[in-house]
């Protein structure tokens, strides 16, 4: 058996790294205008401080998941956290925008290692009957990180300068590395041989993700007919086909396609991808709607949207515990239904909406996130064999990142096509609202598809208990 205290030590180590990664992503977004002014660059270039990180993480998550299963999850987590901290230091001292973007890519490598490892480590030391609970607690950590990012980023950038947005990671990172090394000592876990890592598969998958993300990111801005956009989107399915062929023929494939034969795993993966594809457009357009159409200030906008992560943070642990008792099927489906209802309410808003009216869809979305997130994550991770949990954690994170990229690109293209003259909310609020509504219909369709995907899996309330596969020994000293 595993000492209860060590189990929570492992949770604290994973939570600290997760908090730092989510805090960093939300802090940086707020600082982009300041970074743009400091380097004297256009916002289209400054946005690569965010895009480089997002695309690199999306491309590296699956290879990282396979990699950590080979070399050991505990040492991979500590190394990833250390690399993320070093990358943060490099970002803070970067003298040019090019080096800043490169340093963000270094951060992404560290983030991919930690994201592909954290959930797997928790499931290694948590019994089956409490997986939903721990996934709910992690959902709370993510929400707190996202909540703290925007106000903290604005405060730091306005008083100390944008470089301190990255420096703030240093004490957290050093503490996290030390705590993780201490909490994960004595880990027993089988490891493979690094020479068996599927390098051709990793290369083809990475190129596929980069080509797809670049094409989807620049398509709405540069035009879908641009030759290089067409080339990127055209080569993407060829690279994906090459990756899948490699996985079917390799002696030691990076991605065990057999994982998707499990109905719970495939259902939870598809539901995750579709849900993030559907939700991200709302958070992309909502700030513009609140500020440019309804006339809210930046502070008022942040406090209004704050309702969603606040509810998610408060309710996720309880919802995760409910999924442990009743199974992951119904909390996932009900959570997605609440999200769909939120989209429906947003569709009724035009050029005017009261604060009470806005509160309704935001509360529905917060409730939906709290119900869906822990249950779906528990189903996905719990259905994977113990020796492939690093890979499963990478798949889960990759679905999230890819869904965000696809959702942003597709919704922007749809909204621009519907608005006609463009999406300048201040210049033409009516056209913007029309485009916003078109993106909401896209979100609603994706959420409906996610409901179908989630509903296809069997309920797992009666899954038999099991001991963690790679126990962490409790020390007597």
Q: Residue 441 — pLDDT band, cuts 50, 70, 90?
A: very high
pLDDT digits (tens, 9 = 90+) for 337-361: 999 999 999 999 988 888 889 999 9
Q: Residue 106 — pLDDT band, cuts 50, 70, 90?
A: very high
Does the pLDDT of residue 279 top 80, yes or no? yes
Q: How far apart are CA 344 and CA 407, in angstroms?
A: 18
- Mean of per-residue pLDDT scores for the chain: 80
pLDDT confidence of residue 466: 45
pLDDT confidence of residue 14: 86
Strands (E), 311-396: none
- Greater confidence (108 vs 151) lies with 108
- Greater confidence (79 vs 461) lies with 79
pLDDT confidence of residue 468: 43
CB proximity list for 30: less than 8 A, separation 6 or greater: 149, 150, 153, 154, 157
pLDDT digits (tens, 9 = 90+) for 373-392: 888 888 887 787 876 766 77
Q: How far apart are CA 316 and CA 369, in angstroms?
A: 8
pLDDT confidence of residue 196: 65
Tokens (6 digits) for 47: 């946005």
**Helix, strand, or coil here: 350?**
coil
> Average pLDDT of 228-246?
91
Chain position carrying tokens 């990282």: 64
Q: Residue 139 — pLDDT band, cuts 50, 70, 90?
A: low
What is the DSSP annotation of 11-29?
Answer: HHHHHHHHHHHHHHHHHHH
pLDDT confidence of residue 380: 84
CB proximity list for 344: less than 8 A, separation 6 or greater: 444
Q: How far apart are CA 331 and CA 375, in angstroms?
A: 6
Quick check: 431 and 289 in contact, CB under 8 A? Answer: no
pLDDT confidence of residue 188: 57
Q: How far apart are CA 77 and CA 467, in angstroms?
A: 22
Q: How far is CA 371 from CA 142, 288, 305, 442, in A?
A: 15, 27, 18, 22
pLDDT confidence of residue 174: 92
Does the pLDDT of residue 475 top 60, yes or no? no
**Helix, strand, or coil here: 58?**
helix
* Percentage of residues of the chain with pLDDT beyond 90: 22
Does the pLDDT of residue 3 top 60, yes or no? no
> Average pLDDT of 166-191?
81
pLDDT confidence of residue 102: 93
Question: Nearest 5°: phi and psi at 186?
Answer: 80, 10
- Greater confidence (364 vs 67) lies with 364
pLDDT confidence of residue 379: 85
Tokens (6 digits) for 333: 């489906």
Does the pLDDT of residue 28 top 90, yes or no? no
Q: How far apart are CA 183 and CA 124, in angstroms?
A: 13
Quick check: 5 and 68 in contact, CB under 8 A? Answer: no
Q: Residue 133 — pLDDT band, cuts 50, 70, 90?
A: low
Q: Helix %, strand %, coil % for the chain, to 5?
A: 80, 0, 20
* Residue 187: strand pairing partners: 472
Phi-psi region of 421 (alpha: psi -120 to 50; beta: other; left: phi over 0): alpha
**Helix, strand, or coil here: 187?**
strand
Q: How far is CA 15 from CA 18, 26, 118, 179, 474, in A?
A: 5, 16, 8, 11, 20
Q: How far is CA 429 from CA 187, 294, 308, 365, in A?
A: 58, 9, 25, 24
Q: How far apart are CA 364 and CA 323, in angstroms?
A: 19
Helix (H) / strand (E) element for 295: namely none
What is the DSSP annotation of 243-266?
Answer: HHHHHHH-SS-SS-GGGGGSHHHH
- Greater confidence (138 vs 425) lies with 138
Q: How far apart are CA 185 and CA 363, in angstroms?
A: 42
Q: Residue 185 — pLDDT band, cuts 50, 70, 90?
A: confident
- Residue 257 burial (C-beta neighbours within 10 Å; 0-12, 13-18, 19+): exposed
Q: Residue 275 — pLDDT band, cuts 50, 70, 90?
A: very high
Quick check: 136 and 11 in contact, CB under 8 A? Answer: no
**Helix, strand, or coil here: 309?**
helix
**Helix, strand, or coil here: 224?**
coil
pLDDT confidence of residue 476: 36
Tokens (6 digits) for 165: 């947005």
pLDDT confidence of residue 477: 34
Q: How far apart are CA 327 and CA 454, in angstroms?
A: 12
Phi-psi region of 327 (alpha: psi -120 to 50; beta: other; left: phi over 0): left
In terms of DSSP H, where are the helices of 41-96? Answer: 43-46, 48-71, 73-93
Q: How far is CA 437 from CA 344, 348, 414, in A?
A: 10, 9, 10
pLDDT confidence of residue 274: 94
pTM for the complete prediction? 0.74
Does the pLDDT of residue 184 top 60, yes or no? yes
* Residue 472: strand pairing partners: 187
Question: Nearest 5°: phi and psi at 187?
Answer: -70, 135
- Greater confidence (453 vs 475) lies with 453
Does the pLDDT of residue 164 top 50, yes or no? yes
Q: How far apart are CA 429 and CA 421, in angstroms?
A: 11
Does the pLDDT of residue 170 top 60, yes or no? yes
Range among 145-149, 274-278, 300-304, 417-421 with highest mean pLDDT value:
274-278
């Amino acid at each position: 058996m595993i000492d209860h205290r060590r189990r929570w030590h492992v949770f604290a180590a994973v939570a600290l790294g997760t908090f730092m990664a989510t805090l960093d992503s939300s802090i940086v977004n707020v600082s982009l205008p300041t970074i743009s002014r400091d380097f004297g660059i256009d916002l289209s270039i400054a946005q690569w401080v965010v895009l480089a990180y997002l695309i690199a993480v999306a491309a590296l998550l699956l290879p990282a998941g396979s990699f950590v299963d080979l070399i050991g999850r505990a040492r991979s987590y500590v190394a990833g956290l250390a690399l993320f901290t070093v990358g943060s230091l490099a970002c803070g001292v970067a003298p040019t925008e090019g080096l800043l973007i490169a340093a963000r890519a270094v951060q992404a490598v560290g983030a991919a290692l930690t994201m592909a490892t954290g959930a797997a480590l928790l499931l290694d030391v948590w019994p089956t009957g409490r997986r939903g609970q721990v996934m709910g607690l992690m959902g709370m950590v993510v929400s707190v990180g996202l909540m703290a990012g925007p106000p903290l980023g604005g405060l730091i950038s306005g008083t100390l300068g944008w470089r301190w947005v990255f420096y703030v990671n240093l004490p957290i990172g050093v503490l996290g590395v030390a705590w993780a090394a201490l909490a994960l000592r004595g880990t027993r876990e089988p490891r493979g041989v690094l020479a068996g890592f599927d390098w051709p598969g990793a290369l083809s998958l990475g190129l596929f993700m980069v080509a797809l993300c670049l094409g989807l990111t620049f398509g709405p801005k540069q035009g879908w007919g641009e030759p290089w956009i067409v080339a990127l989107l055209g080569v993407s399915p060829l690279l994906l086909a090459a990756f899948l062929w490699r996985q079917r023929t390799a002696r030691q494939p990076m991605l065990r396609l057999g994982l998707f034969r499990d109905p719970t795993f495939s259902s939870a993966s598809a539901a995750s991808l579709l849900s993030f594809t559907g939700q991200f457009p709302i958070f992309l357009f909502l700030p513009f709607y609140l500020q440019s159409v309804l006339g809210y200030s930046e502070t008022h906008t942040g406090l209004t949207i704050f309702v969603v992560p606040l509810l998610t943070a408060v309710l996720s642990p309880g919802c995760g515990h409910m999924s442990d008792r009743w199974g992951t099927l119904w909390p996932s489906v009900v959570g997605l239904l609440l999200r769909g209802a939120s989209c429906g309410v947003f569709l009724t808003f035009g050029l005017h909406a009261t604060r009470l009216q806005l509160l309704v869809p935001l509360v529905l979305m917060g409730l939906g996130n709290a119900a869906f997130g822990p249950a779906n994550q528990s189903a996905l991770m719990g259905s994977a064999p113990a020796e492939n949990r690093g890979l499963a954690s990478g798949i889960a994170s990759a679905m999230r990142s890819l869904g965000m990229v696809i959702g942003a690109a597709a919704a922007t293209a749809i909204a621009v096509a519907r608005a006609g003259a463009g999406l300048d909310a201040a210049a033409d609020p009516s056209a913007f609202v029309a485009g916003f509504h078109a993106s909401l219909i896209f979100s609603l369709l994706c959420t409906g598809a996610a409901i179908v995907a989630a509903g296809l899996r069997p309920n797992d309330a009666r899954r038999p208990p099991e001991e963690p596969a790679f126990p962490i020994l409790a020390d007597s000293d």
